[in-house]
Amino acid sequence: MTQRQIAVIGLGNIGGGVAANLVKAGEQVTVVDLDAAKVDALAQLGATTASDPLEAVAEAHVVFTSLPGPKHIAAVGLGDGDEPGILSAMNPGAIWVELSTNDLDTARSLYGPAADAGIGIIDAPVSGGPEGAQAGTLSVYVGGETDNVEKVRELLHIIGDKVDHLGPNGAGIVAKIAQVTLCYTQTITLIEALLLGVKGGVQPTTMLDLIQNSAGRSYVSESYGPEILAGTYDASFPISHAAKDMRLAMSMATSVGADLPFMARVAELYEQTEARYGAAAPHLLAAQMLEDQNDLVLHEYPSNDTATKTATNTATNTETKSET
């Protein structure tokens, strides 16, 4: 594989793993992030460090960005106020691989300036989480011109084990947002299924085990179910990211003319969760919103026969009241 100069801007849950795998593959990688500790960790692996994005991209043949959201992508690419963006500092012929979850309007605002500067741009949002980024097993949803994609395909296979070129610019963004909504909608239905079972008298751990061994089995039930029952709510991913993804999904639904009422309700619940607990709160606190509505906190539910009898009696009393 031909070695080239690579810049990675943003060393968070995804970018840090991406940069590490590129370094381990023998690539010459320059990294930059606001968090000095993350930069230092990559430097210890062999990466070169830069003081800012413009310095990082000055000699780069390929630039990877992994950023929190659309406004950050636009600021890094086009500049913010008096600060110029990386499109003004990249060399003609370089390729910008944008790994973040973006919206179509922001992405489209980059294509013209990139073309004017002679820079290829590829939408390559990813799925697989921090563990996938660390292991180099991300799914990469690629949108862009074929020539540009082929120039970086080897690099994409370093960071991911499933790389799909889905069409022109924008196709990767649409695919990423559409598929990620399933994670959030399944999370809400998992919580409701657990609440229904437990309020009907089934122990929480038993109910989760039944779900995990049924047609409802999923990544969500396997990974998030235990977090919900433990009351830890998965602190590795903040509610702000989940709410942002759902906002992007609803914006895209409006853009393409899709009527998605259930997804809209899930998006509303995540917005409410973020407003209640704060942007940095664990994303699975959406469960606690539903637990509060049902007066039943799953991780506090006593695991004994008395609890089962109490839940059964509650269900019976509810039936009796309904009948009268």
Query: Per residue in 101-137, is it b (16+ CB within 10 Å) or e — as a string?
Result: bbbbebbeebeeebeebebbbbbbbbbbbeebbbebb
Residue 164, number of CB atoms within 10 A of its CB: 16
CA 33/CA 49 separation, integer angstroms:
9
CA 310/CA 6 separation, integer angstroms:
61
Residue 238 is given by DSSP the state B
CA 97/CA 8 separation, integer angstroms:
10
Strands 138-143 and 126-127: what pairing? antiparallel
CA 259/CA 251 separation, integer angstroms:
11
**Element of type H or E holding 163:** strand 160-167
70 neighbors 176 (Cβ within 8 angstroms): no
**Element of type H or E holding 272:** helix 261-277
CA 117/CA 250 separation, integer angstroms:
32
The catalytic site residues sit at: 176
Residue 220 in tokens: 């969500």
**DSSP string for 46-92:** T-EE-SSHHHHHTT-SEEEE--SSHHHHHHHHHEETTEEPGGGTSPT
